[in-house]
């Protein structure tokens, strides 16, 4: 559902804007967090932050697609970037995020550890992702 249509952009427009600057977008989700990643040249930082914020803040989800998510609130959001000055990132992002509602973090109940882990050795062709880093 990440990087799909927003209230401001169609899915096709998002794809074209990303491709126009040679960018690459990815999203990952786990039980505890969601991550949106946009890779492109540093010179396109304003465009990248604007698309990221639009996809996070204005996602066009249908009511039946999403349950109430009280943990995804402004105090829990983090915008991070590498290879860019902090002040530059703040100056780009602040106007786009400054109107987020100030809500208190929900109360978290004490965690109760119950333990458990299950791992199964698979001898079949399991998906592998090689990375080349230089």
Q: Is 110 helix (H, G, I), strand (E, B) or coil?
A: coil
CA–CA distance, 72 with 32 (Å, rounded to integer): 10
Provide the pLDDT for residue 87. 93
Q: Indicate whether 69 belongs to any domain.
A: yes
Q: Indicate whether 74 belongs to any domain.
A: yes
Q: Indicate whether 57 belongs to any domain.
A: yes
Q: Indicate whether 86 belongs to any domain.
A: yes
Q: Indicate whether 5 belongs to any domain.
A: no
Q: Indicate whether 19 belongs to any domain.
A: yes
User: Domain containing 37: what range?
Assistant: 11-97
- Helix (H), strand (E) at residue 16: helix 11-20
Predicted model pTM? 0.61
Q: With a cut of 70, which residues of the chain have pLDDT below it? A: 1, 62-72, 106, 122, 124-134
Count of structural domains, the chain? 1
């Amino acid at each position: 559902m990440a990087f799909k249509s927003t209230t401001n952009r169609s899915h096709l427009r998002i794809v074209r804007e990303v491709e126009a600057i040679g960018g690459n977008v990815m999203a990952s989700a786990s039980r505890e967090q969601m991550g949106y990643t946009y890779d492109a040249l540093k010179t396109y930082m304003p465009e990248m932050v604007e698309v990221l914020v639009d996809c996070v803040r204005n996602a066009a989800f249908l009511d039946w697609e999403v349950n109430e998510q009280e943990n995804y609130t402004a105090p829990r959001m983090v915008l991070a970037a590498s290879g860019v000055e902090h002040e530059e990132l703040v100056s780009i992002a602040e106007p786009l995020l400054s109107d987020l509602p100030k809500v208190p973090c929900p109360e978290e109940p004490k965690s109760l550890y119950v333990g458990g882990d299950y791992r199964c050795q698979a001898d079949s062709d399991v998906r592998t992702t090689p990375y080349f880093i230089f």
